[in-house]
Every structure is written in C-alpha cells, then in structure tokens.
Amino acid sequence: MNRAIGTIYRKEMKDMLRDKRALIAIVSYVFGFPLMFAFLFYLMSDDRAPDVKSTIAIDGMAQAPGLVAYLERAGFAITGTESEPVPTSLPEGADALVVLPDDYAARLRDGKQARVWVYVDETSRTAAERGMKASEALLAYNQQIATVRLVARGVPTGLMAPMQISTGDVSKASFINKVMGNMMMLLFTLAPFVVGLSVALDALAGERERQSLASLMVLPVSSATITIGKWAMVASFGLIGTMATMTVNLIALSLLPADLLPFTLKVTPPGMMLALLQLVTLCMFVASLQLVVSIHAKSFKEGQTYMSMMMMVPAIVGYAKIYGESKLPAFVNYLPIFSDMESLGSIFFSGVVDIQLTAAAMTAGLLGTALCLSLTIKRLSSEHMLAEA
Amino acid sequence: MIKIQKIAKNFGDVQAVRDVSFTAEDGLITTLLGANGSGKSTTLRSVAGLLRPTSGTVTVDGIDVLGNPIAAQARLGVFPDQFGLYTRLTTREHIAYFAELQGMRGQARDHAVEEVTRLLHMEDILDRRTEGFSQGQRMKVALAGAIVHKPQNIVLDEPTRGLDVMSIRLLREILLALKAEGHCVLLSSHVMAEVEVLSDHVVMMAEGLICADGSPKGIVRDSGQPNLEEAFVALTNEAINTTKRSAA
C-alpha cells in the first residue's frame, strides 16, 4: 500500500508541476499579497506619522501675527496666500485654508466678533483629519483670546471652563494595527485554500472529466490508497505555497522601514517551529476538505463553483475574527481557522506561545482531516461513483 | 479464466443484467455481442470490479471479485470503454505509472514498458506528452497500460470504437497474439465482421439476458440463419419478444 501511495504521489506531483494553472496560483498568491500589503502600509504610513507638520495657508496673514505665532507654537507650518473670493481648492501643499476678513485686526482690537473662514478638503480620511486639526487649533486660539479678555476684566477662568479635559490611549494596539495583523494571519491561513484549489480539483474532478478514473479504479489498489496518495500531493502543494507565502511576507516585512509597519513582529525560534507545525496540520486539513469537494464534482468547472462557495467559509470566519472578535463567544477560538488565526497571531505578534490554543488548532485540523479523508474514500468506492467512472 | 455465474445487476427499478452465466476460457477470445443497452458493459464492469452485482458471482482465476477485488484485479488487465489519458505525462511515464501500480519496479518495470512499446509499435510517441494524440494513439497508450504487466486475463470494452482500419488491424493482431500465448481475452463488441473474424466463443446478449452462447459458426448453424448478423437479429428479436411476454 505504501509503495502504491508513493507512486500515486509522485505521478500527481509531476503532473501538477507541469500544470500552468497550479503554478500561476502559487506565484500570484505568494508574490501578489506582499506587494499589496506593502502598498497598504505605505498608504497607512501617512496616517501614523505624527512628526509630519500640517500646513495652514492664511489669506490676510499680515493682520494676525498673534494667530500665526500661536499656530506655529502648536506645530503647524504657516504660509501666506491670496485666495479666490470663493475658494474651490486648497493651495498647493496646504492641509487647510484660513481666510481672514479685511477688518479682522480692527474688529479684534475693538473686542468685536470677526468671521473667519476655514476651508478643508475631506476627500480622504487623512486630509479630513489634518483639516480637523487646523480647525481645532483655531478654536483653541479663540478660547485663549476669550480667556485673556475675561482675566483682564477680573473674571476667573474657572467660570468659563469648569473642566480641563485631557485624554490618553491605553490600548496595546490600535484598531487598525489589530486589523492589519489579523489580515496577515488570514493571509497565511487562506494560503492552502488558494494554492491547493487547482490541484485538488484536478486530482479527482479532473480524473472524472478526462474519463481516466475507470482506468485507475480497475487497478489492484484500494480507494484508500488512491485517496491518500492524491491527498498527500494536494497537502504538499498547499504546504509549499503556504511556506512560500509566509517566507516572502516575513522577508518583505523585515525589509520595510519600521515606521511603515502597523505592528511589530516578535516571533521567536520555538514559536516559529510551532507555527510551522500548526501550518502543516492546517494544510493537511484543507487538502482533505478540498478533496471532499473535488470528488463531488464531475468536471473542473463544476468543482470551481463548489470551491468558490467553500472559500467563502474561511474568508467569513477570518473577517468575523478581524472585525467582530469582541462579540464572539470564547469557544470559537477552538474552531478551525479561528484557532489557527488566534494561535498564529499570538506566536507572531506577542512572541508568546499559547499551548492550549496551538494544541486546539492542531487537534481540530487532525480530526477534520480524518473525517474528510474517510468521506472521500467512502465516496470514491461508492457504487454511484464507480458506475459513472 | 473468468467465470460468471448467475449475475444480475439492478439500477433502481431497471434490471440491466439478469441471470447471466458464462465462462471465458484461457487461450480463447470470448466476445460479448449485443446491441447498445443489452448489458455488455455492465457485465464487463462487474468483472473488472467497478460494479457490484446485485446477485451472482464473478471469479477470475478462481478468485471472487466481490470478496477479494484487489487480488482479482491483479490478475486482470482492463481496457475500459472510456480511456482518458493524463495529457501532461509522456507515453513512457503513463505506461510506467500503470506498471508501478501493478507492483512492478525498477528494471522489471522499464523492461516491461520497452516490451509493450515494441508490441504496440509506439516507439515514435514514447517520449511525447499524450496531449493531442489521435484516437489510435490514445488507444495504444491505454491498451499498453492495461497489458504492461502481462495479465493472464484481459478485458476490453468495445476496443475498436472510433478506431481507423489500420488501428483495428493492429489491435486484432495483438489480441490474436495474446490468445496464442494462452491469455484469456474477454471483449465486447457490436461489430459483426470483427466478432466473426476474432472470436472463438460468442456470448450474445439482449435485454440483459444471454440469448446465445457458443462458437460463431455454431450459433449461425443453430439459429438456422445464413450468417452471424442474421442470427444476431433473429435471436435478439426473439429474446426481446420473450421478455415482453414475460413482463405482460
């Protein structure tokens, strides 16, 4: 039996390595996502660079030396500008445009209210946030002038502002950091699904489509031997693709400047070993699951439809974990995919190995593999399947 | 030797084969002759272990196919009615794969591949991938895979379907050579000329039943018809009428 499994494994591997579809699936997934993530991190890096000064363009700057000095102390870069009567865009490089009326200085001197226009661009979140900061700074300046006037008239400042509010962030990681970290783990978890899809379909649905299954089933090898040989090939393919995905992504992340990364990798050698073991069991499970789907399809095309539906499951599970983790009951962390993402996240980002979680992930994978393989073997040796072969 | 005893096969309410018994002896070519849907393929699939008869037994060299399918299949070389190839493998890799699954390894396997290649005159396509092969070339590759391990019993389901004259002549020569070596050859066909030339033993089927069993000449003589084709038409019609009367 072992020799026949080896024969089937070698033949299937040789066959698949000559299949352009299978190779394209690996290459595109392995190299496509690091590029996409690098681009995302690049876009996000602008959000998180606190030392980059926002620029405020002021029309009528000469009338407001106090305002300019206040804003510069608050960390803004100030430029003078001549704006149109009704501005339709911000000056080049400016995050906000402040338009002061011609009588700004006179009204301020007389203790009257002066109307100040602030123009911002809310096309993107980054631009909107920077514009918002400029508006907040102007309000603070407004408050400061009011306070000075009241103090000059003998009114205590506590009457105008009874509370002085300060805020602080106590979260270990921001929401966006968590999302990006979980997305990385989902990327690793989905790798065997994507990479193994084509080869799993060809292994059984392909045999039925090209009408070669009968020739195989009349040979003196059992359904279990055939299934295990093909499963081992699909699992190997998935594992190669997953390892390549992980390696390329980790190398790509290590090459990025630290301030571009939304999270910090803290993986240790023992943690990496455990992560590899966990990914092996994940690939075994995914391959067995894909063969169950493949054997129920009469053609590659039909199988692709089923596989697309099946692919929605890990994607939904992954996104539920990313966006709804706090609303999910604790036991879901012991289900496949959930437990894999949780355990891998713990290994990669905390540098902590949660043995209970990792063991749960591996046990779920092994049990799922056994169940799926037995279903495939049963189906392959069924009267229905053999009658159609 | 392949022995079939009282096999029946039902697919739901449809009785594809009922009470079929015959023996395919070593050193003879036995042909199942029948129209489409007469039960030939179902019978051969039961022999190959692809179907489990509802009742009755099939033995290959005394081994019960239902009880010990792996051992029985090791004594068989089967050329099924649909023989898809692995188009990304070469002819050599294809045949070697089947040889290995029949338990052959190393030099024995390589030698067997070379031998069957010579037998089927396919040296020119040995190291070509099978994608784009003609029907004749595909037949040769599939047949090579079925007989590479020199099985004692060879089962072929309508092997000449879709083949040109030259390929049919080659196949006929191969089957006669296998017969001369003492192999048991069991095939199905509905081509009268082929059956008449090739067969030592004809089992005529209609409506899932055997309507005649004997040598081609014996069947013609017993039916009182001038040739095998007329005998086939007469015996088949008689079987169909009998079945209808029984059903009524």
Structure tokens at B162: 């879709």
Alpha-carbon separation of residue B237 from A291, B20, B92, B189, B190 (angstroms): 47, 18, 47, 18, 15
B93 CB near a chain A CB, below 8 Å? yes
pTM, 2 dp: 0.78
Structure tokens at A362: 């591996």
**% residues pLDDT > 70 (chain A):** 87
In B118-157, the residues whose Cβ lies within 8 Å of chain A are 142, 145-146
A19 CB near a chain B CB, below 8 Å? yes
B61 CB near a chain A CB, below 8 Å? no
Cβ contact (<8 Å) for A215 and B80? yes
Give me chain A's average pLDDT, please: 83
Choosing among A16, A215, A217, A222, which should be mutated to test the B contact, i.e. which has the most B CBs within 10 A? A215
Nearest to B51 among A210, A212, A386 (CB): A386
Per domain, the residue ranges of chain A are 2-45+173-388, 55-160
Q: What does each of the 248 residues of chain B score in pLDDT, given as a tens digit?
A: 999 999 999 988 888 998 899 999 999 999 999 988 889 999 999 999 999 999 999 999 999 999 999 999 999 999 988 888 999 999 999 999 999 999 999 999 999 999 999 988 899 999 999 999 988 899 899 999 999 999 999 999 988 887 888 888 888 999 999 999 999 999 998 888 888 888 999 999 998 999 889 999 999 998 888 888 899 999 888 888 887 777 66
The string of pLDDT tens digits covering residues A14-57 is: 999 998 888 888 888 888 887 887 777 777 655 545 556 788 99
Cβ contact (<8 Å) for B86 and A11? yes
pLDDT of residue A365 exceeding 80:
yes
Please report the pLDDT score of residue A176 as a whole number.
Answer: 62
Pairing between β-strand B153-157 and β-strand B184-189 as defined by DSSP bridges:
parallel
ipTM, two decimals: 0.91
Cβ contact (<8 Å) for B89 and A8? no
For residue A64, which amino acid is it? A
Nearest to A219 among B73, B88, B89 (CB): B73
Q: Tokens 């090579």 sit at which residue?
A: B144
Q: Packing angle between helix A2-17 and helix A20-47, nearest 10 degrees?
A: 70
Alpha-carbon separation of residue B239 from B5, B14, B38, B85, B236 (angstroms): 20, 17, 11, 38, 5
End-to-end Cα distance, chain B? 38
Collect all residues of chain B within an 8 Å Cβ-Cβ radius of residue A7: 97, 100-101
Contact criterion met (CB below 8 Å) for A38 and A256:
yes
Please report the pLDDT score of residue A175 as a whole number.
Answer: 60
Please report the pLDDT score of residue B55 as a whole number.
Answer: 94
- Helix, strand, or coil here: A290? helix
Structure tokens at B158: 């309508």
| Number of inter-chain CB pairs under 8 A, A vs B | 82
B83 CB near a chain A CB, below 8 Å? yes
B87 vs B83: CA distance, rounded Å: 12
What torsion do the CA atoms of A290, A293, A296, A297 make, to the nearest 10 degrees? -80
The string of pLDDT tens digits covering residues A155-199 is: 877 776 666 665 555 554 556 666 777 778 888 888 999 999 999
- Eight-class DSSP state of A91: P
Nearest to A210 among B50, B70, B84 (CB): B84
The string of pLDDT tens digits covering residues A342-358 is: 788 778 777 677 787 78
CB atoms within 10 A of CB A236: 19
Q: Residue A135, exposed/middle/buried by CB under 10 A (0-12, 13-18, 19+)?
A: middle
Q: Which residues contact B140 (CB under 8 A, 6 or more apart)?
A: B120, B121, B122, B125, B167, B170
Collect all residues of chain B within an 8 Å Cβ-Cβ radius of residue A215: 78, 80, 83-84, 98, 142, 145-146
Please report the pLDDT score of residue B3 as a whole number.
Answer: 96
A282 vs B160: CA distance, rounded Å: 48
The string of pLDDT tens digits covering residues A231-242 is: 999 999 999 999
Nearest to B50 among A11, A222, A389 (CB): A389
Nearest chain B residue to A222 by CA distance is B70
